[in-house]
Amino acid sequence: MIGNTIIKSLWKYKGFVYFSALREFQIRYNGTILGVIWAVLQPLSIVFIYTVIFGELLSTRIAGDTQIYHYSIYLCSGILTWGLHAEIVNRCQVMFLDNAEMIKKIQFPKSSLPFIAVFVSLVQFFIVSVIFILFLLLANAFPGWLFLGVAPVLLVQLIFSVSLGTILGVLNVFFRDIGQMTLIVLQLWYWATPIVYPLDILPTWLKPWMSLNPMFHIMNGYQRVFASQQWPNFSGLAVVFLLSVAMSLVAIWLFRRLSGDIVDEL
């Protein structure tokens, strides 16, 4: 029932959602000479730096590494998708504060804000992903039919990220420290997830604890497809999916319960 109401509202205001997302994307690069090219240069510069530092200077290797670009592919599949996660969470946790004036003056479903954040984040992710896929094709490392395994991983990631971001976004209206805390937690979370380093280098006693990290299962799904050319671990992904669904229900409940108070607090 709740889901149907949200879907009907989004469909009714689909034009508003689309043009709001488009406006946000344009504002980000408005006034810059390179424009949308920055959406590609920023993540690629990070990948280049990490590849040189960890892949060459620190001689990081992955078990079963037989390709010259194996570590770069492993690194890209993690960094680029983590960027999508961090982008969605950061956008959602400030969406009510950043749109305070619009919320108070314009009649529109506030439930559309998370979808606007996801749309903007996906546009940038799509641009970078196209470059990454071209690199895989040129390096003769495209996973073929295994590429279809990315779809369920991406779906789970989107549900998880937007649910977490929406919960933080609602709480951030009433407790402004949430925004600062989120930035710190995301940094720690990034390094607590095998993205830059392979799981194999961790101490034996630490490896089982990784299963408690939802982003480990999501990142591992991408890394298995692109770096190892294997299907994702669907059992681990299923656990994260159930967690994501539970979080989405909490996010909807929080939003509906505090929707009126959000406007007053803003």
Task: Indicate whether 64 pLDDT > 70.
Answer: no
Whole-number Cα distances in Å, 147 to 15, 139, 143, 152, 204: 32, 15, 6, 11, 31
Task: Indicate whether 9 pLDDT > 60.
Answer: no
Task: Indicate whether 105 pLDDT > 80.
Answer: no
Task: For residue 142, give the DSSP letter.
Answer: -
Q: Distance between CA 144 and CA 80 in Å, rounded?
A: 20
Instruction: Write the burial class of residue 146 (CB in 10 Å: 0-12 exposed, 13-18 middle, 19+ buried).
Output: middle
Closest alpha carbon to 215 in 243, 184, 177: 243
Neighbours of 35 (CB within 10 A): 12
Which pLDDT belongs to residue 14? Answer: 63
Two structure tokens written together for 108: 């529109």
Which pLDDT belongs to residue 13? Answer: 58
Confidence of residue 2 (pLDDT cuts 50, 70, 90): very low
Q: What does the pLDDT look like over 203-242, one tens digit per residue? A: 888 888 898 999 999 999 999 999 888 999 999 999 999 9
Lowest mean pLDDT among 20-24, 65-69, 115-119, 134-138: 65-69
Q: Distance between CA 41 and CA 45 in Å, rounded?
A: 6
Contact 97, 265 (CB under 8 A): no
Closest alpha carbon to 94 in 219, 181, 4, 160: 181
Q: What does the pLDDT look like over 107-152, one tens digit per residue? A: 767 777 888 888 888 888 888 888 888 888 888 889 999 999 999 9
Q: What pTM was estimated for this model as a whole? A: 0.85
Q: Which residues contact residue 109 at a Cβ distance below 8 angstroms, ignoring those fewer than 6 apart?
A: 6, 9, 10, 12, 13
Contact 137, 123 (CB under 8 A): no
Residue carrying the six token digits 């749109």: 99
Neighbours of 106 (CB within 10 A): 9
Which pLDDT belongs to residue 263? Answer: 74
